[in-house]
Chains A and B, each alone.
Chain A
Amino acid sequence: MKFTLDWLKEHLETSATLDEIADALNSLGLEVESIENLAETLAPFKVAHVVSAEKHPDADKLSVCKVDTGSETVQVVCGAPNARTGMKGVFAPSGTTIPGTGLLLKPTKIRGVESNGMLVSEREMGLSDEHEGIIELPDSSEVGTPMADIMGLNDPVIEIAITPNRPDCLGVRGIARDLAARGIGTLKPDHIPSVDGKFDSSIKIGLNFPDVAPLPCAMFAGCYVRGVKNGPSPDWLQKRLRAIDLRPISKLVDITNLIAFDRGRPLHVYDADKLSGNIGARPGRKGEKIAALDGEEYDVDETVCVIADESTALGIGGVIGGEPSGVTEQTTNVFIESAYFDPIGIAATGRRLGIESDARYRFERGVDPDFVLPGVDLAVKMVVDLCGGEPSRIECAGGNPRTVVPIAFDPALVKKLTGMDVAPDVSRKILEDLGFSADGSAGSLSVTAPGWRPDIDGVADLVEEIVRVHGLDNIPSTPLTRHHGVARPILTTRQKRLVTARRTLATRGMVEAVTWSFISEKAADLFGAGNQKVLLANPISSEMNVMRPSVLPGLIEAAQHNADRGFGDVALFESGPQYAGETPEDQAVVVSGIRSGATAPRHWQGTRKPVDTFDAKADAMSVLEAVGGPVASAQVMATAPGWYHPGRSGTICLGPKKPLAYFGEIHPRILQEMDMKGPVVGFEIMLDELPEPRSKAGKTKPALDASDLQAVERDFAFVVASDVHADTLVRAAKGADKKLITSVSVFDVFEDASLGDGNKSVALTVHLQPREKTLTDEEIDVVAKKVTAAVEKASGGTLRG
């Protein structure tokens, strides 16, 4: 919403400065977006007298001028055809920057003749596109006066953002009222004389709707004015509209635009001679078309409220008028419309037809229904003043739809909700200054909102008005009560686990990314989106139209982008949501990561190797261990979802139906589909699937169990079939003597022709911890035999000789 300071002062008697007004607007909730103060910008440019202008000795089109700037006489070389002796123009001295071009003026020589400063055109001053010649000012202009004063440009333009609850401030008077309530001056009285019509309008008004509530158009008033003379608006009106970026059209149109921005009251003026019969509002009809003032043709139907005469739909009520019935320079008789349209209907129509107009903007936020008739009065007064003519008596159909509901209000609520002390009579005065009426005694007021405040519907709204005007700065900062001397921990297990998981992976060299929750449908299908696919109806692009069923595709894509930039060794992870469907239960928190390229940078100690499945498994296991997952009881199965390599992937689980994490090489075909150079390994940890840690009574740790007796290690190598899992051997060995064997590790695995086709060697170290006495060689041999027997039985293999 734009307005000028002078315009504001038509409604507000004030001596406040522009800065004071801007501060007040901000603190009233009318956020100042910009202030354009040409008087300030153009201050250095002043009226100058061209004492003489002679032809440049060396250039036909240039003249050499002696210019009296009021403080000195300077020589200026000027190229404008209208530069001549005796004229008054605008002078830009050396050292100033020309607003329209950004040029910094310096003393210079043009074709050998000294030139200081410049006589400027309107375009150079950023005022218009006019560049035919330099600005010419009336002879009466006093030399040295700022050009802004002479040209009427010293009226600052203020632009404020209006929140949707404040339609009253879509008119300058509403803004003035807020400022007056704040104490920035007083609101000037408003006298709109009622139309003193001498005849009945030949055009009657009808509202023709089926019995619906609310009525799309509840009230429609109008006035016939005969014998008007249209034409360009007077300067003051044109200037006012231009200041707020509206194009002056003609007196009749400009008057309606002015009132829309002055009062927030949209109006429409018809050329009465172009109407056939009476006028009214009714639902549109299927197949009806309206040629609107914006040059477009709109199809309407019964959901749209149209204004129609007896033969055709003229315009879209409250949104846009029609071209054929509009006024022109030749118009002599007019019919002025002031109506009230239902905000919800206007919003729906405007949205459906895609029309943005100043009328729609106001009606959908709520126009003052009490101002329908005064709106006609004001318009008629201006039309008669500017265009002459004679008004009819006012016609009106329907009635004011506003039901006045007083709000019972205890001013003590201000303190309760805001902590701010405001005396009850101060609260009451604020409300009254804003146009509310307040009856009753101090402790229980009965407050009625004015028609221009459709947003007010309860006591909280009244409190807002009071604190807003009294000043939020006056609210005292008040410490929140502290429930515990020392703050209690607040994170849930899963929240803590997320933090630990992230930091574990970062410690392992992985970099955390945050990628989009939506991915392409193709990628989603590759990662198991299936029937439950969650499609967006209005995606930003087809690359981002499905809620991701897995975090991996986003990470793989990021890895590809990094590889394209020359960073092929990628270790990325993300902790975030994935979506199996659209219900809250379908959303899971996962920690996923990928690695591609090599595990380490090239180094003289040479530990670089291509990433493989076990890097991903190590990542997953590290996280599970760090977050207190059931690592000891978890199994690893050689199966995984379809986006993994079938032979190089696995699931860490608590039984077949309770997967905790997947890991492995990403399926080569999927990488190919995603244009990603492999191999890529990855993992997905389903944090939600991890059981809660077992709760313990206290924080004490169990006593340390460390034997003084020397621990013993024995190595075994078994030849087993290649498809036997190492885990089978380890578990069998561990189970051979549960008392003595503390752990079993695999220290070598290889395949070799010497072992026989389809066989491999698996070497184990078994760690023994004696408990009561040092083990003798015989006792160790007994355990070794048990280990051998157990492993051979479980694996079907044999001890290597």
Chain B
Amino acid sequence: MSDIDALEKDILAQISDAENQAALETVRVDALGKKGRVSALMKTLGGMSDDERKVKGPLLNGLKDRVNQAVLDRKAALEEAELDLRLASERVDVTLPVLTSQQGRIHPISQTIEELSAIFADMGFSVAEGPDIETDEMNFTALNIPPEHPARQMHDTFYLEEKEDGSRPVLRTHTSPVQIRTMLAEKPPHRIIAPGRVYRCDSDQTHTPMFHQVEGLVIDRETHMGHLKWVLEEFCKAYFELDSVSMRFRPSHFPFTEPSMEVDIRCRRDGGQILLGEGDDWLEILGCGMVHPNVLRYVGLDPHEFQGFAFGVGIDRMAMLKYGIPDLRAFFSGDLRWLRHYGFHSLDVPNLAGGLSR
């Protein structure tokens, strides 16, 4: 065995014996470092004759390559072993609960108003607004409810203190004054809904002094009760997300519409629950009619030329019906348990393409 063979054998043995990266590095430096044993032999090539170099050169280069490869292989093996060792020691309890970002809730009233907006936007209605504190004129007189009309007493109006000029602002008892404001501010045709807070001086199991209504108004030259019926039918189907709803239109009376109707929806009462779209019972859901000629005259429209309909729906009531919410008063209690239970996820934005609700 030549010296070279002996050296190779020795170094390869050292490499395979190296227990860790540091030991391997020592072996590598001892062999291939500047003062290493293989490097020292390589340096002897310079002093050799051409013939000798032709023989020894390949031998020494072969030695160097093999040692080099052996170091790399050992290094890879050691790394693999070290990773295995590390992985064996690294463990987490994946069943631990994570800290999710806390989700809030959207109140059912806001959600319902957004649902109504989505439905009526599709039918070409825009969303109008008006103040909660109204003049007596806007809330009553303009709507064909003169001062001594019995309907005024039926409204349980909240009054503000009388002013010096004798006028007395009221908290609007319905969203209907927005009709007047819209018709006074803009020229027909009109197609609006007006959701908002309304107030009645009444508080018991089923009444709260504040609640929400949405007003609807269409004024042009041809819209009639047939259109009203269609709009309400389409609205109820879309809102309640039912393929069909059975509705009953009954004549009624409101000072600001003529003819006037009340609308019932077919339902079944099961204990405290009301199930829509089935059964033999009826539930009143809204009042509506053709805008009264006196109301049109008040806003300066000629009733022979312009006509149209108006309707009013209780938003809270619609939310209660659709989502099976039992108690109106809880809507305004600010109880977190109620809000979390009946409220909506922030990403549940009502839209017609995806369905109004999940």
A residues touching B (Cβ–Cβ < 8 Å)?
26-29, 31, 163-166, 343-344, 347-348, 351, 364-365, 416-420, 458-461, 463-464, 467-468, 472-473, 475-480, 482-484, 487-492, 495, 499, 502-518, 534-540, 544, 547, 554-555, 557-559, 561-562, 565, 567, 570-573, 575-577, 579, 582-584, 586-587, 600-601, 603-605, 607
Contact = CB atoms under 8 A, between A and B. Distances in A.
A517 B117 CA distance: 23
B133 A480 contact: no
Contacts of A502: 106, 110, 346
B293 interface: yes
A572 B336 CA distance: 8
Given A472-B261, A477-B229, A558 B123 contact: no
Given A467-B259, A517-B132, A607-B99, A490 B226 contact: no
A503 B334 contact: no
A417 B101 contact: no
Contact of B226 (A420, A489, A515): A420
Contacts of B290: 417-418, 460
Contacts of B125: 490
A346 to B, nearest CB: 10
For chain B, the bracket of interface size reads 35 or more
Nearest to A535: B161
A218 B159 CA distance: 34
B203 interface: yes
A159 B200 CA distance: 26
Contacts, number: 259
A753 to B, nearest CB: 35
Given A489-B121, A516-B210, A536-B160, A508 B104 contact: yes
Contacts of B75: none
Given A460-B258, A480-B123, A538-B158, A562 B209 contact: no
Given A364-B150, A418-B259, A537-B159, 12 more contacts: A164-B150, A365-B150, A460-B293, A475-B225, A477-B226, A480-B218, A491-B121, A505-B104, A506-B104, A509-B103, A537-B160, A559-B334
Nearest to B149: A164
B106 A478 contact: no
Interface string B218-242: 1000011111011101000000000
B124 A516 contact: no
B335 interface: yes
A513 B334 contact: yes
B268 interface: no
Interface stretch (B5-13, B45-53, B247-255, B269-277): B247-255
A584 B76 CA distance: 79
- Which A-B residue pairs are the 4 nearest by beta carbons? A558-B334, A419-B226, A29-B251, A509-B102
30 contacts: A29-B252, A165-B253, A347-B150, A348-B148, A419-B227, A460-B293, A460-B303, A464-B260, A472-B251, A473-B249, A480-B123, A482-B123, A484-B124, A490-B124, A490-B125, A499-B114, A503-B347, A506-B103, A506-B105, A510-B104, A511-B104, A511-B339, A513-B334, A513-B339, A517-B171, A517-B197, A565-B337, A572-B339, A582-B160, A601-B102
A530 to B, nearest CB: 16
A513 B83 CA distance: 54
Interface string B192-212: 000001010101000001100
Contacts of A464: 251, 258-260
Interface of B: 96-97, 99, 101-107, 109-110, 114, 117, 121-127, 130-133, 148-151, 153-154, 158-162, 168-169, 171, 197, 199, 201, 203, 209-210, 218, 223-227, 229-231, 233, 248-253, 258-262, 290, 292-293, 303, 307, 331-337, 339-340, 343, 345-347, 349
A605 B336 CA distance: 25
B143 to A, nearest CB: 14
Given A555-B334, A582-B169, A28 B251 contact: yes
A541 to B, nearest CB: 8
Of the listed residues B223, B225, B290, the one surrounded by the most CB atoms of chain A closer than 10 A to its CB is: B225
A419 B123 contact: no
Contacts of B260: 464
Of the listed residues B159, B203, B209, the one surrounded by the most CB atoms of chain A closer than 10 A to its CB is: B209
Of the listed residues A26, A480, A567, the one surrounded by the most CB atoms of chain B closer than 10 A to its CB is: A480
Given A510-B104, A554-B334, A166 B253 contact: yes
